[in-house]
């Protein structure tokens, strides 16, 4: 079956090939990424529809809920077939919108085991360190990730919200397959990290991918392009990310079936060189 997602191309990490436009599950739990979904049946329907539309890379974390997003993914999609699930550990929760880094090796191992159980798998496709805990020696955190990889509990390792120096330190201890940092049209503070990932063949997962700031305001560049192309602001933001780099793996998230379909259609949008140049040079 041909789907818009096919136009996004693919990326391969540790022998695992996925379409570059994925889905992020952060919006499935309750407000503040805390507590149960307001509509669990809809959440399950969104996940299943994403796969029907061609999505085969789904990002989640043990702290989304906590555990709610992983539970919904298992309910909706297990057994996963060709769909790859990327989860994270390293942030614990203290209530809605409250996040605390915890990088003690014994905690990270515990959370890996819990994710294995919740997702109902023998090995995690991609296990990401959600944050590097400044209170714990980084080498201990990366060393635990290396142990999990060697033991076969995880198939690939990723990092989140890191700079180039941290990636290089980690790579001295364990193979890093992906990096997940905040990056979008209006926030490009991770440009150096993206460039590094591109040079090194590391997947770059931009979280909060559709943010566009003042560019989307009436009269802004993105708004003008939306009128010119007939695409939505979100679609243009995603299309720009996909065109920006071949290692880019956007994971737009939504709890809406309508917005899900809209996001997936972004994979088939072909921006002209002039449009790409304008967006790349824009300051939000």
C-alpha–C-alpha distance, residues 188 and 71, integer Å: 33
State the Rg of the chain over Cα.
18
C-alpha dist (Å) from residue 56 to 59, 143, 168, 225, 251:
10, 29, 29, 29, 11
C-alpha–C-alpha distance, residues 219 and 59, integer Å: 34
- Choose the catalytic residue: 23, 64, 183, 196: 64
Reported as type and span, the H/E element at residue 178 is strand 178-182
Output b/e per residue, 72-92; b: 16+ Cβ within 10 A.
bbbebbeebeebbbbbbbbbb
Task: Decide if 64 is catalytic.
Answer: yes
What is the phi/psi pair of residue 229, to 5°?
-100, -20
Please identify every residue annotated as catalytic: 64
């Amino acid at each position: 079956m041909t789907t818009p997602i096919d136009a996004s191309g693919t990326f391969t990490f540790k022998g695992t090939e996925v379409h570059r436009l994925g889905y992020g599950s952060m919006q499935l739990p309750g407000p503040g990424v805390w507590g149960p979904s307001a509509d669990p049946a809809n959440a399950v329907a969104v996940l299943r529809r994403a796969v029907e539309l061609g999505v085969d890379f789904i990002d989640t974390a043990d702290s989304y809920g906590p555990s709610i997003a992983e539970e919904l993914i298992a309910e909706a999609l297990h057994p996963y077939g060709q769909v790859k699930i990327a989860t994270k550990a390293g942030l614990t929760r203290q209530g809605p919108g409250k996040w605390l880094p915890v990088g003690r090796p014994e905690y990270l191992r515990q959370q890996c085991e819990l994710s294995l159980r919740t997702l109902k798998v023998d090995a995690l496709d991609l296990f990401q360190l959600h944050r590097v805990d400044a209170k714990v020696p980084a080498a201990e955190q990366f060393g635990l990730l290396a142990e999990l990889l060697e033991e076969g509990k995880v198939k690939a390792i990723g990092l989140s919200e890191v700079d180039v120096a941290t990636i290089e330190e980690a790579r001295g201890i364990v193979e890093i397959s992906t990096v997940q940092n905040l990056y979008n049209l209006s926030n490009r503070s991770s440009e150096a990290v993206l460039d590094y990932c591109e040079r090194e063949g590391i997947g770059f997962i931009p979280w909060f991918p559709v943010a566009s700031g003042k560019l989307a305001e009436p009269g802004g560049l993105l708004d003008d392009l939306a009128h010119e192309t007939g695409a939505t602001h979100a679609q243009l933001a995603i299309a720009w990310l996909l065109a920006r780099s071949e290692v880019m793996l956007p994971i737009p998230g939504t709890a809406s079936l309508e917005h899900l379909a809209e996001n997936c259609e972004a994979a088939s949008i072909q921006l002209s060189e002039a449009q790409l140049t304008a967006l790349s040079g824009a300051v939000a």
